[in-house]
Amino acid sequence: MMTLFSIFPLLTIPVVIYNIMAFAFTGSGPIDAGAAAPILANLEAPMLSLPMVSGAVWTMTGGDLLILISLVFLFVEILKSTSTGTATIMNHAVSMILFIVCLVEFLLFENFATSIFFILTMTTLLDVLAGVVVTIVSARRDFAVGEGFGG
């Protein structure tokens, strides 16, 4: 039985968070010149500052946190892609749709033309590519094991 967790790409969460922040300041249409400033200000605002032993101060911004969350979700997505069921194939299809949506937003909307969203978009692409490759390798291994018993 396919569960929503197995089909739902977790990378949707940071993309949706970015979308909420981007559209909360500009509405849902194409952006006027200079409208990307509010979202950039929110994503570049320091969230955490820690003094280091070296004397430097390490600062984490909202954008850094969003990228970190997406990397954790990418790891979980790669682990999920090691299974070879129907849910995994559906997950890859939905992940591909998510990548296409991210790419369109990056190209067409000014608030999405940021380095942070570009990295999120590349993370969704890596999810699609890694997921398909891992699934193919897993399926070949399973198929090869099955052949050995027949003969």
Q: Considering Cα of 47, then 102, then 133, then 94, what sign does the dihedral take?
A: positive
User: Which pLDDT score is estimated for 124?
Assistant: 97
Q: How much is the pTM?
A: 0.80
User: Which pLDDT score is estimated for 51?
Assistant: 94
Give a yes or no: residue 84 inside a domain: yes
Q: Which domain holds residue 74?
A: 67-151
pLDDT over 90 (residue 148): no
CB 15 within 8 A of CB 74: no
Give a yes or no: residue 83 inside a domain: yes
Strand blocks (E) in the chain? 46-51, 57-61
Give a yes or no: residue 2 inside a domain: no
Give a yes or no: residue 7 inside a domain: no
pLDDT over 70 (residue 34): no
Give a yes or no: residue 14 inside a domain: no
How much is the mean pLDDT over the chain?
84
Give a yes or no: residue 32 inside a domain: no
Mean pLDDT is lowest, of 110-114, 125-129, 147-151, for 147-151
Give a yes or no: residue 73 inside a domain: yes
For the chain, the domain total comes to 1
Q: Other C-beta atoms within 10 Å of 53: how many?
A: 5
Split at pLDDT 50, 70, 90, the class of 52 is very high
Rg (CA), the chain: 19
Give a yes or no: residue 133 inside a domain: yes
In eight-state DSSP terms, residue 142 is H
